[in-house]
C-alpha cells in the first residue's frame, strides 16, 4: 500500500501573488528566496515491502535537485515523473509551483487546469489559477475567478488573498470605481495598515471622491501627525472639497517637515497669488527656482510678482533670464521694454542733476539690466530734446562699449555742440 504524506504546500509566490501589480502598491517578492518555500525538505514517504518504484525515485530526485538550487533540472525531473505517474497530484502541484516561480505562466495554467479537472473545488488550485490568469494578461478571467472565490466564502482563511487578488485584477482591467469598496473591505480586515489607507485615499481622490478620502485619512493622520504622505492626501482632499484655507494649513505643515517639498511650494504659491499676497507667493516661487533654475514658467511668474511687489529691477533680471532661454517671445520682449521705460522715467531726475555716472554705479544694486534701462533713458531724452542729459547717458554707455561705432557717431556732434569734445578725447 502506498502512503503519501501530502504536503500542505501553498507556494509563497501564490500567497503573495494576489498582491502583484500597481493596485496595492506592493512589489512582488522572489518566490525562490528559499528552497523550502516551494518543495518540502524531505523525500517522498513510501512504505512497501516490494521494490521502490521508479516514479518514487524520480520524485525524490526532483525534490533533491530543487533543494540544491538546480531548478531547470528539477523541472525536467518533474516532467519525467508525471509522464510515468500522471495521477500524483501532489507532485503536479509542486511542479506547478516551480513553473510559477519561473514565470512560465502558460504551462502553469495548463497544469492547474489538469488539477482542477480532478478537484474543481480545491481553493488552493483555484487561487493559483486566478493568479496565473492575471499574469497571463487575462484580467477579466482573473476578476471572475477571484470574485467567485471571495463571494463564495468571504470568511475563509484565504478570503484575504482572494480579495487582494480581485483588487489587483480590477486594476489591470482599469476598473477603478469597483476597486474602492473592495479596498475598504480590505482595510476592515487589516486595520491600521497605512499603505492601504494611503492607497484608498489616493484612489478616492483620483476618481472624484474627496470626502471619502478625507474621512478615511482622518484617524490615521491623528495617529501619525508627521506622515507627509497622509498630510499631502488630506490637503488634496480638502482642496477638492473647496476648503482651500484649511488645505493651506496642511501644505504648510508639509513645508515645516520638508522645506524642499516642491508640490507644497507649488500649491502654496498658487494659493497666495489667489489671495493677493504677492510677497508670500514670490517666496514659494523663488524656493522652487532654487531646485529648478531653468523652469521658464517659474521664471516668468517670479518676474510678474517682483514687479507687483515694487521691485521692477529684479523683475527685469528675471525677464532677461527668461529671454535667454526663450529669445523670441514677443510678449515678454514688450513687457521688458515697458518695465525698462518705467524705471528709466523714474530715474531721469538723477541724470538731470548731473549724476548719470553715479546712478550707473548705484543701479547695480537694483538690476543687472543697467544697459537696458540706460538705453530707454537715452530714448526718452532724445524724444524730449534733452541733449546735455542725453550726452551724459550716452557717455556712460560708451565707456562700457568703446568699440561701439554707432554710439561714437551719435556722441561726436552732441559733444562738439556743447564744447565737450575734450571729454571724448579722454575716454
CA dihedral 368→370→372→378, nearest 10 degrees, is 170
Question: What are the tens digits of pLDDT across the range 401-425?
Answer: 999 999 999 999 999 999 988 887 7
pLDDT score of 423: 81
Is residue 128 packed enough to be buried (19+ CB in 10 Å), middle (13-18) or exposed (0-12)? buried
> Would you tell me how many other CB atoms lie within 10 Å of the CB of residue 113?
12
Q: How many CB atoms lie within 10 A of CB 184?
A: 14
- Quote the pLDDT of residue 29: 36
- Residue 52 in any domain: the answer is yes
CATH number of the domain encompassing residue 163: 1.25.40.10
- pLDDT at 49 (0 to 100): 52
Is residue 412 assigned to a domain? Answer: no
Whether 33 is in a domain gets the answer yes
Residue 145 lies in a domain: yes
Q: What's the chain's average pLDDT?
A: 88
Domain total of the chain: 1
Confidence band, pLDDT 50/70/90 cuts, at residue 42 = low
Model pLDDT, residue 425: 73
C-alpha torsion sign, points 374, 377, 383, 387: negative
Tell me the CA distances in angstroms from 46 to 1, 4, 49, 307, one per residue in order: 9, 7, 10, 89
Question: Which pLDDT tens digit goes with each residue over 179-231?
Answer: 999 999 999 999 989 999 999 999 999 999 999 999 999 999 999 999 999 99
Asked whether residue 132 is domain-assigned, the answer is yes
Rounded to an integer, the average pLDDT of 112-128 is: 95
Cell matching residue 213: 478620502
Question: Is 147 a member of any domain?
Answer: yes
Which range of residues forms the domain containing residue 3?
A: 1-169
Query: If you average pLDDT over residues 67-85, what whole number do you get?
Result: 93
Which residue, 110, 97, 163, is CA-closest to 136?
A: 110
179 to 28, 74, 174, 303, 372: CA distances (angstroms) = 20, 39, 9, 45, 60
CA–CA dist 300, 322 (Å, integer): 7
pLDDT in tens, 78-116: 999 999 999 999 999 999 999 999 999 999 999 999 999
Distance CA 102, CA 277 (A): 60
In a domain, 64, yes or no: yes
pLDDT of residue 38: 53
pLDDT digits (tens, 9 = 90+) for 48-57: 555 788 888 8
Asked if residue 146 is part of any domain, the answer here is: yes
Amino acid at each position: 500500500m502506498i502512503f503519501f504524506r501530502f504536503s500542505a504546500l501553498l507556494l509563497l509566490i501564490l500567497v503573495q501573488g494576489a498582491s502583484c501589480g500597481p493596485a496595492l502598491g506592493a512589489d512582488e517578492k522572489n518566490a525562490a528566496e528559499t528552497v523550502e518555500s516551494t518543495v518540502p525538505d524531505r523525500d517522498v514517504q513510501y512504505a512497501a515491502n516490494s521494490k521502490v518504484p521508479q516514479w518514487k525515485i524520480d520524485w525524490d530526485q526532483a525534490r533533491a535537485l530543487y533543494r540544491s538550487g538546480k531548478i531547470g533540472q528539477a523541472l525536467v525531473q518533474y516532467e519525467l515523473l508525471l509522464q510515468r505517474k500522471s495521477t500524483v497530484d501532489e507532485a503536479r502541484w509542486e511542479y506547478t509551483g516551480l513553473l510559477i516561480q519561473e514565470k512560465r505562466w502558460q504551462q502553469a495554467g495548463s497544469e492547474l487546469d489538469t488539477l482542477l479537472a480532478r478537484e474543481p473545488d480545491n481553493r488552493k488550485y483555484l487561487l493559483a489559477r486566478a493568479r496565473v490568469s492575471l499574469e497571463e494578461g487575462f484580467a477579466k478571467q482573473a476578476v471572475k475567478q477571484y470574485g467567485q472565490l471571495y463571494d463564495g466564502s468571504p470568511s475563509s482563511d484565504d478570503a484575504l488573498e482572494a480579495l487582494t487578488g480581485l483588487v489587483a485584477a480590477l486594476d489591470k482591467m482599469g476598473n477603478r470605481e469597483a476597486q474602492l469598496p473592495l479596498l475598504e473591505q480590505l482595510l476592515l480586515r487589516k486595520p491600521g495598515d497605512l499603505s492601504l489607507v494611503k492607497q484608498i485615499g489616493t484612489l478616492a481622490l483620483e476618481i472624484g471622491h474627496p470626502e471619502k478620502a478625507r474621512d478615511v485619512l482622518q484617524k490615521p493622520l491623528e495617529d501619525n501627525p508627521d506622515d507627509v504622505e497622509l498630510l499631502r492626501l488630506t490637503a488634496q482632499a480638502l482642496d477638492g472639497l473647496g476648503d482651500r484655507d484649511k488645505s493651506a494649513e496642511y501644505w504648510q505643515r508639509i513645508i515645516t517637515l520638508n522645506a524642499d517639498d516642491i508640490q507644497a511650494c507649488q500649491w502654496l504659491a498658487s494659493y497666495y497669488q489667489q489671495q493677493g499676497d504677492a510677497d508670500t507667493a514670490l517666496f514659494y516661487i523663488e524656493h522652487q527656482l532654487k531646485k529648478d533654475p531653468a523652469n521658464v514658467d517659474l521664471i516668468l511668474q517670479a518676474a510678474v510678482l517682483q514687479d507687483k511687489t515694487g521691485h521692477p529691477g529684479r523683475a527685469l533680471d528675471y525677464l532677461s533670464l527668461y529671454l535667454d532661454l526663450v529669445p523670441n517671445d514677443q510678449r515678454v520682449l514688450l513687457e521688458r521694454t515697458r518695465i525698462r521705460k518705467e524705471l528709466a522715467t523714474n530715474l531721469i531726475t538723477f541724470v538731470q542733476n548731473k549724476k548719470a555716472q553715479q546712478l550707473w554705479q548705484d543701479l547695480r544694486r537694483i538690476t543687472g539690466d543697467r544697459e537696458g534701462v540706460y538705453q530707454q533713458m537715452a530714448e526718452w531724452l532724445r524724444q524730449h530734446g534733452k541733449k546735455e542729459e542725453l550726452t551724459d547717458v550716452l557717455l556712460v554707455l560708451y565707456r562700457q562699449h568703446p568699440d561701439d561705432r554707432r554710439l561714437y557717431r551719435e556722441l561726436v556732434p552732441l559733444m562738439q555742440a556743447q564744447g565737450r569734445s575734450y571729454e571724448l578725447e579722454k575716454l
